[in-house]
Structure 1
Amino acid sequence: MTYRGRFAPSPTGSLHFGSLVAALGSWLRARAAGGAWLVRIEDIDPAREVAGAGETIVATLAAFGLRPDEPVRRQSEGRDRYDAAVARLEAAGHAYPCACSRSDLAPFGGHHPARCVAPAPAGRHAAMRLRVPAGPVAFEDGVQGRVTQDVAAVVGDFVIRRADGWPAYQLAVVVDDAAQAISEVVRGADLLDSTPRQIVLQRLLGLPSPAWMHLPLVLDADGRKLGKSDLARPVRADDPLPALRAALRFLGQDVPRRSGVPALLSAATARFDPACIPRGTPAAPGRDAAQREVS
């Protein structure tokens, strides 16, 4: 099977260093495997979307030499696919409408009980929840090793379509990865906990499960994910080499002494070694160092 990887950012802002690490890691993995690399804009949360951010991210990736091999896909254009998947799950008894709010579930620690605790109000659309089967879900991650989670016990029945009609992330990513024949998902470790839920959905929908590789996160000095801190400033598209070299170091890779983006990426691809990617989180650059590297 031909290797197919992807980078799937949400258009909530410009590309920052943490996102560059994820994009570069997925791109290197695909290129080293001689496969294809795709970009998918996950724009299914209009309230959080920043106008023009998707286009800016794609243009910034191109400035860093990270160009997709197929046209960029936007999730907002695939709502029919998601609705069809929800309909299949509901028809098979795997999904049900639910009007329980967060406050309704607070007494249960946010965990949805066996039955809904709130009736659907008149004139209000209900969300759709997945009826999660009991039992552990296990998978082997290319960086993090063996991961096991009992989704029913830890997460419970989770939302697959919101009350506003938009698909939830867990459903949309599963449907799109299958539609694009993604053979391995390479992304940040903040999504490691989501993977068992996605495997459950893949099994219930009869879809193949890709291989998984979750990269270490870039954190600030306070241990926060970079995207949620004041270090999440856009990388410089007009001077990509410093940030590219910093991203390679963060991923535990040898940093070639090459000038020019194409030469650096070519040499980095030839030397790419997934076994060198840190399992935990490396020391992130400090505030001053980060600014020198990405701005």
Structure 2
Amino acid sequence: MKAYTGRFAPSPSGPLHFGSLIAALGSYFQAKAMQGEWLVRIEDLDPPREMPGATSLILKALESYGLHWDRDIYYQSQRHDIYQAQIDEWLSSGQAYYCQCTRKQVKASGGYYTGTCREKKLPPGQGHAVRLCMTRPVYSFHDEKHGLIDVPEPLAREDFIIQRRDGLFAYNLAVVIDDIEQNVTQVVRGADLIEPTGRQISLYQISGHTPVSYLHLPLAVDSPGHKLSKQNHAQAIDIQNPVPTLVRAMVFLGFQLPQGIEAANLAEIIDWGCRNWHIQQLPDKFEIIL
């Protein structure tokens, strides 16, 4: 059995907020409970969405909460050549192709791409995206907490984008390439990323690798049901006095905390969490209102 490797992979679109802390803690506790490594990867693939200085704020927040990574940090912005090489290989083999369809056109055809450009053999062109031929559709997958999760057939069969029209690399492509290279064995993340999981498993299979296992954590949402996110201007977590927020996050993750744990120091609380974590404690819900 391979040694366990988990990871936390934030995008630097803002400082760490409570929802991000849930994902960080869940992935950290799972890795440490499995006597494994916990990695941090900065998914800085989309410069227009990034906030200057966000990466350093995120890393400082993780350290302030006692979450220390075990290897050098990966930055996706430094790995463009690797992503491009995989795309070029698939274009050469016919596993991928150029597409000139717009979002408006896809929406008009029912919301899913129907393969309009698959047989057109378009040459490289400004404004062309690259799509992957879906030869290994995934119609369901196993989640370590929630069991079998179905993937809608149109989504499973869709030739999805691996390089955008503006030349930026797609999240699904980069995350799978990086997880393979970093020998990640399990992905622990928020339930907002359940939908692309089938596509990512397809990418593993198409590239000839065994998929990782997946564990999706409940999302923290506000009373109208909106996910806490940087786009929704979620408040940054307190890094000067982390214990109250840490305890609140652990309760959110289903821990039955011992009385008086708030009086312990940060390292003791994190250590207790690593020793007492188990997947069964997680709430069954995909979303929890704060």
Q: TM-score, normalised by structure 1?
A: 0.90
Verify: 1:276 aligned to 2:288, yes or no: no
Which has the larger displacement, 62-71 or 85-94?
85-94
AA partner of residue 41 (structure 1): I
Q: Contact 1:128–1:159 at 8 Å: present in 2 too?
A: yes
Residue from 250, 261, 270 that aligns with 2:266: 261
Asked if 1:3 is matched to 2:4, the reply is: yes
1:262 offset after TM fit, Å?
A: 0.2
CA distance in 1, matches of 2:101, 2:84: 20
Shift of 1:42: 0.3
Kindly report which structure 2 residues correspond to 1:199-214, keeping only aligned pairs within 5 A, or say none.
199-214=201-216
Identity among equivalent positions (%) equals: 39
1:218 aligns with 2:220: yes
- Once the two structures are superposed, what CA deviation does each residue of 1:125-159 show, in whole Å capped at 9, x if it has no partner? 41100111375433211112111325555561110
Matches within 5 A, 1:1-295: 1-116=2-117, 124-133=126-135, 135-150=137-152, 152-153=154-155, 156-227=158-229, 232-256=234-258, 257=261, 258-281=263-286, 283-285=288-290
Cα distance in structure 1, aligned partners of 2:53 and 2:13: 9
- Structure 1 CA distance for aligned equivalents of residues 81 and 92 of structure 2: 16
Note if contact 2:161-2:170 (Cα within 8 Å) is conserved in structure 1.
yes
Code of the residue aligned with 2:243 in structure 1: it is: L
CA distance in 2 between counterparts of 1:95 and 1:121 reads 12
Number of matched pairs: 285
Letter in 2 for 1:14: P
- Name the CA distance, whole Å, in 2 between partners of 1:97 and 1:121: 7
Gap regions ≥5 residues in structure 2: none
Gaps of 5+ in 1: 286-295
Which residue type is aligned with residue 111 of structure 1?
A: Y
Could you tell me whether the CA contact under 8 Å between 2:137 and 2:157 is conserved in 1? no
2-side partners of 1:282 and 1:193: how far apart? Answer: 14
Distance 1:136 1:197 in 2: 7
Residue 218 of structure 1 aligns to a residue whose secondary structure is strand
State the Cα deviation string for residues 34-54 of structure 1 (Å, max 9, x = none): 110000000000100101101
RMSD of aligned C-alpha atoms? 2.2
Structure 2: distance between partners of 1:114 and 1:132: 10
